[in-house]
Chain A
Amino acid sequence: EDQVTQSPEALRLQEGESSSLNCSYTVSGLRGLFWYRQDPGKGPEFLFTLYSAGEEKEKERLKATLTKKESFLHITAPKPEDSATYLCAVQAASGGSYIPTFGRGTSLIVHP
């Protein structure tokens, strides 16, 4: 069974204090790992897709990396507007379907 574990569950940072969020996964036949940002009461907003170990992607203050067992979302010099829940999902082939499995997310609060 595919599993995705995100840590920490919650993270409080001061503005400018860089940190990393972790997504550990167990999946048979990874077809992609996705990072999303979700604001309260809203749908997840797509951030990155990673397909193979060693791959990295960047967007503004965010950088996502991937190994064979985990992915990190690095946040450099965060601002209060980066406060949100960050979700990780893995996609594996299952009987011809490609169904993402989501983690529970990391709730990030950035204090000014």
Chain B
Amino acid sequence: ETGVTQSPTHLIKTRGQQVTLRCSSQSGHNTVSWYQQALGQGPQFIFQYYREEENGRGNFPPRFSGLQFPNYSSELNVNALELDDSALYLCASSVRLAGGHNEQFFGPGTRLTVL
């Protein structure tokens, strides 16, 4: 069974640039969630995708956008990068059930640094 993978591992960008982060879900999982984790904080929910549609969104501006593909892989796009966007970006996959979701399995994360 292949776990959740993310690319790239590390990324350095400058303020104002755009970035795309990628995630491959664990086999058999149909839902992908993205989180931003600042140093010393818990993961903050950005958004969730189920069947290629956004299925919930946290308190993040529209310059954070995403996609889910038919094979359940996903992208997170961030436009007009700001210094505060520097963080560990986590992707998590899960299976959506009738009564909710089972546990989420996280990838190793992408460390984004904005200079």
A and B found bound together? yes
Binds A, one of B11-19, B60-68, B70-78, B95-103: B95-103
Binds B, one of A12-20, A76-84, A100-108: A100-108
| In the complex with contacts A44-B43, A104-B40, A98-B100 CB distance below 8 A | yes
Per the CB 8 Å criterion, the residue count for chain B at the interface is: 30
A64 at the interface (CB under 8 A from B): no
B56 with A45: CB separation less than 8 A: no
A46 with B42: CB separation less than 8 A: no
Q: How far is the CA of A22 from the CA of B88 in the complex (A)?
A: 25
B100 with A91: CB separation less than 8 A: yes
Query: Which of A41, A43, A91 contacts B106 (CB under 8 A)?
Result: A43
Query: Which of B45, B90, B108 contacts A99 (CB under 8 A)?
Result: B45
Most A Cβ at <10 Å: residue of B99, B100, B106: B100
B20 at the interface (CB under 8 A from A): no
Q: How far is the CA of A6 from the CA of B111 in the complex (A)?
A: 25
B55 with A97: CB separation less than 8 A: yes
B41 at the interface (CB under 8 A from A): yes
A72 at the interface (CB under 8 A from B): no
A31 with B99: CB separation less than 8 A: yes
Contacts of A59 in B (CB 8 A): none
| In the complex with contacts A31-B99, A97-B55, A45-B106 CB distance below 8 A | yes
A42-B109, A91-B101, A102-B43 given. 12 additional CB < 8 A pairs?
A32-B101, A32-B103, A34-B104, A43-B6, A43-B90, A43-B107, A87-B43, A89-B42, A96-B55, A99-B56, A100-B104, A104-B42
